[in-house]
Amino acid sequence: MSKTWFITGTSSGFGRLLTEKLLARGDRVAATLRRMDALDDLRATYGDKLWIASLDLTDQQAVRTTVDRAFTELGRIDVVVNNAGYGLFGAAEEVSDEEIRRQIDTNLIGSIQIIRAALPHLRAQGGGLIQQVASEGGQITYPSFSLYHATKWGIEGFVDAVSKEVAPFGIKFTIVEPGPTRTDFARGLAIAEPMDVYADTPAGDVRRAIFNGGFDIKGDPNRMADAMIAYADQDNPPLRLALGSSTYPSIRTALESRLAELEAHKATTLAMDFDD
């Protein structure tokens, strides 16, 4: 049975790939993006199978209006893919107040508001799935990506909690955690002005690796998009889905490190209650 999808950020990357693949298999897609002409080729091929709307995630009223209109005009939406976002690159001291606000407004608040706008519709129709595109950066960190990580760790915590709130209504979530992937992510980075004091620090090392091609990026976005679709077709998709051969060891190492630290201080942790 064909599905109807609502996908943000469809002009490139995962959003574009998902839209292409879903239309090709006969599904309907409600696609949002900043440049309306970016999907002209797909509209010419698939006609009314593709519903398009311009959307800036930092405009909270537009988010609600667009989501409401999509559900009203399409009747039912089975899967919502919260995909739109970008990376802010720079040490915490290097990024400006304006850059911080835009990063949080887009990646975190924008994603939260898409979910909040979709929930009443998903409840009314008896359920559905929300795929939140996060990152391995929602569970691990790199220097110079502190604000990006803040948004990805933040949206993972939000989704984890909301998934418990709405489970009784048949609404499910999957947090998708891609590792380094050959998409346009690097091209879309917002880059803060560097400070000389960070040149010979881990933040400077990452900056050089990013701009000198020092990262080995193996992730295949086509395979990842196929996996997202396959898991959306499952009756009981996982809450978290890590994607990429480097992602597995990175996340596993981070989780084991946190668990080891928790265990190392277990006695202190357990000694913090009142004595009865």
Closest CA to 184 of 16, 8, 7, 6: 16
Residues 6+ apart with CB under 8 A from 154: 108
Burial state string for 113-143 with b = 16 or more CB within 10 A and e = fewer than 16 = bbbebbbebbeebeebbbbbbbbbbbbbbbb
How many other C-beta atoms are found inside a 10 Å radius of the C-beta of residue 147? 25
Residues annotated as part of the active site: 148
Place of tokens 């202190």: 268
CB atoms < 10 A from the CB of 252, how many? Answer: 13
Helix axes 60-74, 110-124, angle to 10 degrees: 30
Name which of 157, 159, 164, 179 is nearest 246 in CA terms. Answer: 179
